[in-house]
Structure 1
Amino acid sequence: MSSRAPESIHLSRREFDALLFDLDGVVTRTASVHAAAWKRLFDAYLPQGSPPFTPEDYRLYVDGRPRLEGIRCFLRSRGLTAPEGTPEEGPDAETVQGLGARKNAWFLEALKQRGVEVSPSAVRLLERARAAGLRTAVVTSSRNGEAILRAGRLGHLFDARVDGVEAGRLGLAGKPAPDTFLEGARRLGVVPARAVVFEDAQAGVEAGRRGGFGCVIGVRRSGARGELLRAGADVEVTELSAVDVDGADTHAEGAMP
């Protein structure tokens, strides 16, 4: 890897075998839909007179985390708790599980109305990477990962998918734990040191760093410049058009047995 400019990065096939992408905010523009659903949820739930849910709250406590953990983290930040509830509870329940169901219903409603906006620069990077022989995976905390990929017609661009449904099935800890990224690397058959993580959330950047990945690229869609670098990213870009891929052959020893 060699950086050509503060917001430009070059990835060589001599160094890396695979790229692992977060979904919302990196490949798709659905992060804003998530943020709006979270704000609607928490502004209605918070006690009267409480400060409203802010973009900073979204970045610090919710973005990149599994849905229920995001609820717990935000409530703790306000000194609040809610009963855990059960997965069978519907969106009317005043529990962590119920709030999660309510948020997801509002997200799916907005997604149906607005559709899935795909990042053209992400698609171009994925196409170039695959043409160069790099393997690709999507690693997202969203339990709607498969539906979003299908709606955006993106499934053919990835060799593996680890989403919230798969994480739950396997009992994997969510971001900022590195478990889901490590599972993505395992499914691609590559060692983390020869893989690159693309993330727009601080929790996801931390997960990539803790997983020992060869490069963690922060994709800054919002927030202050340098925020993702402070979270552990090797480089921070505002658009994936700043990332280039060299198609040279890699060393065979980079693959996992």
Structure 2
Amino acid sequence: MQEPTTNSNLACIFDLDGVLVDTAVYHYKAWKQLANDMGFDFTEAQNEHLKGVNRMRSLDMILNWGGVEKTAEEKEVLATSKNTQYVSMINKMTAAEVLPGTINLLTALQQAGIKIALGSASKNAGVILERTQLTHFFDAIVDGNLVSASKPDPEVFVKGAAMVGVSPAQSVVFEDAQAGVDAALAANMKVVGVGQPENLKGAHVYVKDLSEITVEEIKALVKG
């Protein structure tokens, strides 16, 4: 069997939701139910603003949209309730929910010896990777349990690069949220925006999904 070529001085850091798998629909359903229970609606357009944002900040934004004030203790109860419903839904996920191009790109990166890390705000990233059978691709997993600052703070990506022993300048981030793009740029990393360019200002390359980029293009992006 051919040994993988080594490119250990390169790293690819992936956001999870909307890049590797589509869990946005489950977040939306759980938040919408919470809002409806409090007497107001929560739209898909508002949900777009929550991409890459951690749970408590998301809750604050939703309460603000609904004109509802809660104590810190009440917020903890609400956030726990939302997460319980969300976890119940993601526990039913399967490998069929992995987004197009994901398996092929992760396989190619692994065979090329390029380090692969996860950089996600989700505290449930481990469960999702397990359910969708992606865990074995990752050299490092940085999620909401390991970081204190939410994107656009670069902490999650800086930590991911450090855990695989690669400098930020030699790292490429894959993101579907503006907060994530801003975080990667703040960390001095290259960014592949997964989605519409108008929603991901500042990314170096845009793709609709991971089937649209190759290992060679990733290497060229870092060199450029």
In the alignment, does 2:116 pair up with 1:141?
A: no
Residues 131, 114 of structure 1: alpha-carbon distance in 2 compared, 3 angstrom cutoff: closer
Distance 1:249 1:235, change over 3 A: closer
Asked whether the 8 Å contact 2:157–2:184 carries over to 1, the reply is yes
SS of residue paired to 1:246: helix
User: Of the candidates 81, 88, 91, which is equivalent to residue 112 of structure 1?
Assistant: 91
Judge conservation of contact 2:177–2:200 (CA < 8 Å) in 1.
no
Residue deviations 1:15-47 (CA, integer Å, cap 9, x gap): x701000111111122211122111112222x4
CA RMSD of aligned residues (A): 2.4
In the alignment, which residue of structure 1 is the partner of 2:21?
Answer: 28
Aligned residues: 214
After the TM superposition, list the runs of 4 or more consecutive aligned residues in structure 1 that deviate by more than 6 angstroms. 247-250
The 1:156/1:115 distance shift into structure 2, 3 A limit, reads: closer
SS across alignment from 1:141: coil
Given that 1:132 and 1:246 are in contact with CA atoms closer than 8 Å, whether structure 2 keeps it comes out as no
Residue 41 (structure 1) aligns with: 34
1:193-232 matches, within 5 Å, as 193-213=169-189, 215-220=190-195, 225-230=196-201, 232=202
* 5+ long unaligned stretches in structure 2: 1-5
CA contact (8 A) 1:228 1:236 kept: no
C-alpha contact (below 8 Å) 1:37/1:106 kept by paired residues: yes
Structure 2 length-normalised TM: 0.86
Check the 8 A contact 2:91/2:131 in 1, yes or no: no
Corresponding position of 2:82: 103
* Structure 2 counterpart of 1:23, one-letter code: L
The 1:187–1:114 alpha-carbon spacing in structure 2 relative to 1, beyond 3 Å, is: closer
Q: Is the 8 A contact 2:178 2:200 kept in 1?
A: no
The 1:247–1:72 alpha-carbon spacing in structure 2 relative to 1, beyond 3 Å, is closer
Stretches of structure 1 that go unaligned for 5 or more consecutive residues are 1-12, 86-94
Question: Aligned residues: percent identity?
Answer: 36
